[in-house]
Every structure is written in structure tokens, then in C-alpha cells.
Amino acid sequence: MIFITAKFHIKPEDADAWPEISRPFTEATRAEPGCLFFDWSRSLDDPTEYVLVEAFRDGEAGGAHVQSEHFTAARSSLPPHLVSTPKVINFDVPQDDWSELGEMKVE
């Protein structure tokens, strides 16, 4: 799978509304057949920072995502709400779902 984590710094006046601002992009991406997950989290330390954790089945699915109409729309609609360009980490991971954290196994 293609595993991506990105940090978004949102303008303070838009930070509380970010889940609604990004909702059309989020919902459309989650509906893609190759999307495994697409989840936002808000930083506990910085209320203007959101982290996006997403994964796609493979490079083909990731490519389809980047070429999608909703991705193109997000490239225009989301940046006006950002303080800076998002930072990203992108990996090709040889698995297709989350693994258990064995060090914290719940019995």
C-alpha cells in the first residue's frame, strides 16, 4: 500500500472549521475504490495543526487519487485556509492494513 502522512497548518480563524472545510475532499477520497483509509487528527499541542493519515491500495490507486476531479478541486479550495504548504511523508509499505502494536497487546 501507499501510506501517506501529511501535516497541515491551518489559519487560526479557520482551524475550528477545518473538518467542514475539508469535508467534500475527505468524503470524495474515502469513496475512491483504491482508498484504504483517509483520517484527519488535530494536534493536542497546536490547535491549528491537523495531521492527515491516508493509504491507497497501490501506486495505481494513489495515481488515480492525484488525478481525480476532487483532488484538483482541493488544490484550489484548501490552500486559502492554510498558513504554509503542507509537509508530507510518503511510503510504499508491503502490507494492506494496520498491524497490531504487539508491545501493547490487549489480552
Decide yes or no: CATH 3.30.70.100 for domain 2-86: yes
What ranges do the domains of the chain cover? 2-86
* Residue-wise pLDDT tens digits, 31-63: 999 999 999 999 999 999 999 999 999 999 999
Amino acid making up residue 73: A
pLDDT at 29: 98
Phi, psi of 88 (to 5 degrees): -140, 150
pLDDT in tens, 64-84: 999 999 999 999 999 999 999
pTM of the model: 0.92
Look at residue 73 in the predicted model and tell me its pLDDT.
97
